[in-house]
Amino acid sequence: MLALFQGSLDTLLKRPRFQPSLGQVAMLHYGRCGSSVLCDLLGQHPDIFWDAEVFERMFRKQLREARFIRDPMLLLRLRMALAGKRYYGFETKCHPAYHLSAPVLNTSSSSYIASLKQMGYGYFIILKRQNYLRQQVSEEVGRQKGGVWHQPAGAAALLQQVTIDIDCVRFGGYRVALLDSFIERDRRYAELASLLTAERTLWLTYEDHILPDPVKGYQQACEFVGITPREVTIECSRTNPFPLKDIIQNFAEVEAHLQNTDYEWMLHS
C-alpha cells in the first residue's frame, strides 16, 4: 500500500504545475563553510524558496512528510512543489560520509547528480572552505559546545579550545587520520568538478565570498541564477575568529603532522 501511494504521488508531482516555475538550484558542500549564512540570505529573496538541508531534516525526522514518505528523492520532489512561482533551492552535504551515506541517500556522487539533473536541476552551486583545518576545528568546537553551530549577528565569540586527534578525526560518518581527511576532500571536490563540467555551476569559497562579506556570495548566487539581488540582513556572525594556535590545545602536534605537506599553510591562515 505504501509503495502504491508513493508511486502515485511521484507521478503526480512530475506534472508541470507542481514544478518550481523559475527553476531549481542545488548547493553542494561539506559543512562548516558558511553555508548557513549564505542560505539564510538567499532565503530572504522573494523569488527563492530556500529549503536548507532537506535530507538532514528528513534523517532527523524533523519534516512531517518524512513520516509517510520513505524515498528521499520523492520527499525532495514534494518539497519542490512548495516553491510555486519561485526558484526552489536546497543544500546537500554531498559526500559518502554525510548525506550520500547508507542511512540517508545511500548513493554515489555520480548517481546523485544524475538524479538531480533528471529532476530538472539546472543550477549547481559548490561552496568550498579552502582551509580544511579550520573546517575541522569548527566542527570540533561545535560538538564541544553541545551542538551549537551558529551565533547571532553582533554576539561576541567565545574561545572554545579543542584537542585534535591527528590519527582519528570525525569527518561526517568517517573516522580517519586528519591528513587523510584533507586528501579525501580534495579528491571529492575534483570528482564534483568532473561530474559538473557540462552543467551551469558556480564555485564559491568561504574565504573569498563569505568571510569578507556574505552579501558578496549572495549577490553572486543571485546573478548566477538570473535574479536581481535584494536588500538582505545578515543574521549570523563568525563563531571561531581566533588564531588556530589559540583554539587547538595540541597545536604543536598538529603542526608537525601537516609539516611539509600541501596543507601546511592552513595552520596560519
Average pLDDT of the segment spanning 183-202 = 98
pLDDT for 4 equals 42
Distances (CA, A) of 75 to 2, 94, 209, 249: 14, 17, 31, 43
- Is residue 1 scored above 60 in pLDDT? no
**CA of residue 145 relative to chain centroid, distance:** 20
**2-268 CATH choice from 1.10.3470, 3.20.20, 1.10.287, 3.40.50:** 3.40.50
- The answer to whether the beta carbons of residues 104 and 173 sit under 8 Å apart is no
Which of 7-11, 65-69, 124-128, 165-169 is predicted least confidently? Answer: 7-11
- Is residue 2 scored above 70 in pLDDT? no
- Is residue 82 scored above 80 in pLDDT? yes
Which of 3-7, 80-84, 136-140, 203-207 is predicted least confidently? Answer: 3-7
**When comparing pLDDT for 68 and 158, which is higher?**
158
The rounded percent of the chain whose pLDDT value lies above 90 is: 80
pLDDT digits (tens, 9 = 90+) for 221-263: 999 999 999 999 999 999 999 999 999 999 999 999 999 999 9
- Is residue 47 scored above 80 in pLDDT? yes
Q: What is the mean pLDDT of the chain?
A: 93
**When comparing pLDDT for 149 and 266, which is higher?**
266
pLDDT for 228 equals 98
Taking the alpha carbons at both ends of the chain, their separation in whole angstroms is 56
pLDDT digits (tens, 9 = 90+) for 95-151: 999 999 998 999 999 999 999 999 999 999 999 999 999 999 999 999 998 877 888
Extents of the domains making up the chain: 2-268
In the chain, what is the greatest distance between 2 CA atoms, to the nearest angstrom?
60
- Residue 73 CB: number of other CB atoms within 10 A? 17
pLDDT for 5 equals 46
pLDDT for 188 equals 97
pLDDT for 61 equals 77
Average pLDDT of the segment spanning 20-24 = 88
pLDDT for 220 equals 99
- The answer to whether the beta carbons of residues 201 and 121 sit under 8 Å apart is no
pLDDT digits (tens, 9 = 90+) for 145-168: 887 788 888 888 999 999 999 999
pLDDT for 261 equals 98
Q: Which residues of 170-183 are buried (b: 16+ CB within 10 A; e: fewer)?
A: ebbebebebbebbe
